[in-house]
């Protein structure tokens, strides 16, 4: 928690005791998340779109159809904000006022730039694919030239990022502790259900081990 | 799927076959979500912040500390974008290119305005509390005058909203169907774990029924 904020605008103002600018904290949240909400503004109107992503070192990668509006806007180098939120639980206090949520979130400010180098683009798509399911890239047919052309990849540096984390039980006012009201945390967890094979799957192909050893199940077992 | 888009800027361009402007579809997604990602732009820089919310009819309600940066910005009547995303599964194709996600998302464009009427403000806070956990408002101590003053509530109309939904198996190219590669969907679900009571909970208070009949568990049982 001793890493200083990266910038004035990237400083958490509200409940700063929940803030962290520590790279390890930020990376861990980004690696656990699956969907980022990416915001851009066009003539003052913000648009927030859910996107999958991948991380390589100190860069995040996004991808989209080359023709998509968001990809085209981002590729022009306009300011963006990427937010990833992990919801860990509902915090149920005795007073309505002290209800809260346990969460871990990261906000990244920056400018996304298009990746044009073929090798970096391929590694970025690998990172995005493996971010969703570890080891998946090695199992599948890689993109051909036409598919690479139809896909745009953007790189967002993790230079201006902050994390915000709330954990633990509700904090009620002293005078509410005697109320006849249950208080505590209802933990929430994203889990996987049994894989559903494609209707057109060739006979005799078993689900890969990666599917059953996915990080979701590991998380579930580890806690 | 026959409801027309509410506006030019609120029209889904990319994969329009996944779009819906049907009020029932939009409300169902908003009611199932727990966290919205709210975007505003300040001098061209977007900020995307996770927020809980509630819905009453054709309006969404947000709340925050009266002193928070986002609440103050939104209360000035600047354009906002609120996005709710439910991630239903990872779509694992035989080709990297056709990997996707099953999801249901809603994007709302509009201007949030501060709620000043005391009665509406109270009902909004009730809706936000009960949105997280059905019936919770009736169990807890309602906000006192000081807490109401410290809380700002914003109303966002659901006038310019769109939903986007992907369901079903991967769609691989014909020539990839014979590959030695598993394909299908890994379903994801947000579930609750056992409630954790507050360390300072009075003896003899049992968890309320609402906790065990929460919508998460019902969803899990119903599918």
Pairing of strands B35-42, B45-56: antiparallel
Nearest-neighbour CA in chain B from A4: distance (Å): 20
Instruction: Tell me the CB-side half-sphere exposure of residue A208, using CA atoms within 13 A.
Output: 21
Of the candidates B34, B103, B182, the beta carbon closest to that of A206 is on B182
Tokens of A28: 């861990």
A69/B14 Cβ within 8 A: yes
What CATH class has B16-171+183-189? mainly beta
Is A182 at the interface with chain B, CB within 8 A? Answer: yes
Q: By the 8 A CB rule, do A59 and A110 touch?
A: no
Is B132 at the interface with chain A, CB within 8 A? Answer: yes
Q: By the 8 A CB rule, do B74 and B80 touch?
A: yes
- CA nearest A110: which of A162, A65, A167? A162
Residue A43: DSSP 8-state: T
B205/A181 Cβ within 8 A: yes
CA distance from start to end of chain B? 24
Using pLDDT thresholds of 50, 70 and 90, give the confidence band for residue A221.
very low
- CA nearest B34: which of B130, B158, B152, B120? B130
Looking at beta carbons, which residues of chain A come within 8 Å of B189? 190-193
Owner of token pair 């139809």: A150
Pairing of strands A113-114, B151-157: unpaired
Spell out the residues 6+ positions from residue A21 whose beta carbon is closer than 8 angstroms to its own. A3, A4, A5, A6, A161, A162, A163
Q: Is the pLDDT of residue B1 over 50?
A: no
Mean pLDDT to the nearest integer, B63-87: 86
Instruction: Tell me the CB-side half-sphere exposure of residue A43, using CA atoms within 13 A.
Output: 1
B44/A79 Cβ within 8 A: yes
CA–CA distance, B149 with B3 (Å, rounded to integer): 40
What CATH class has A16-172+184-222? mainly beta
Residue A209: DSSP 8-state: H
Give the tens place of pLDDT for each residue, A150-168.
999 999 999 999 999 999 9
Using pLDDT thresholds of 50, 70 and 90, give the confidence band for residue B209.
confident
Q: Is the pLDDT of residue B217 over 70?
A: no
Mean pLDDT to the nearest integer, B54-81: 87
The CA-atom distances, in angstroms, between B112 and each of A83, B62, B73, B107 are 20, 9, 10, 14
Is B34 at the interface with chain A, CB within 8 A? Answer: yes
Is B138 at the interface with chain A, CB within 8 A? Answer: no
Owner of token pair 């039980």: A169
How many Å is the maximal CA-CA distance in chain B?
A: 68
Residue-level pLDDT at A108: 98
The ipTM estimated for the assembled molecules is 0.93
């Amino acid at each position: 928690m001793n890493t200083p904020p990266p910038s004035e605008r990237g400083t958490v103002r509200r409940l700063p005791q929940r803030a962290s600018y520590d790279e390890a904290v930020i990376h861990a949240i980004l690696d656990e998340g699956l969907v980022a909400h990416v915001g851009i503004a066009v003539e003052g109107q913000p648009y927030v779109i859910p996107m999958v992503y991948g991380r390589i070192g100190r860069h995040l990668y996004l991808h989209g159809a080359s023709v998509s509006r968001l990809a085209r806007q981002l590729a022009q180098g306009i300011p963006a904000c990427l937010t990833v939120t992990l919801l860990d639980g509902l915090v149920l206090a005795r007073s309505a006022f002290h209800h809260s949520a346990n969460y871990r979130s990261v906000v990244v400010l920056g400018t996304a730039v298009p990746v044009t180098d073929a090798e970096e683009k391929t590694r970025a798509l690998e990172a995005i694919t493996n971010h969703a399911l570890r080891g998946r890239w090695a199992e599948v047919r890689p993109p051909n030239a036409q598919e690479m052309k139809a896909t745009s990849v953007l790189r967002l540096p993790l230079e201006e990022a902050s994390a915000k984390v709330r954990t633990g039980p509700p904090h009620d006012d002293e005078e509410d502790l005697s109320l006849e009201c249950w208080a505590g945390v209802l933990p929430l967890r994203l889990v996987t259900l049994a894989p559903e094979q494609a209707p057109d799957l060739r006979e005799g192909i078993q689900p890969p081990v990666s599917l059953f050893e996915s990080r979701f199940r590991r998380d579930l077992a580890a806690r």
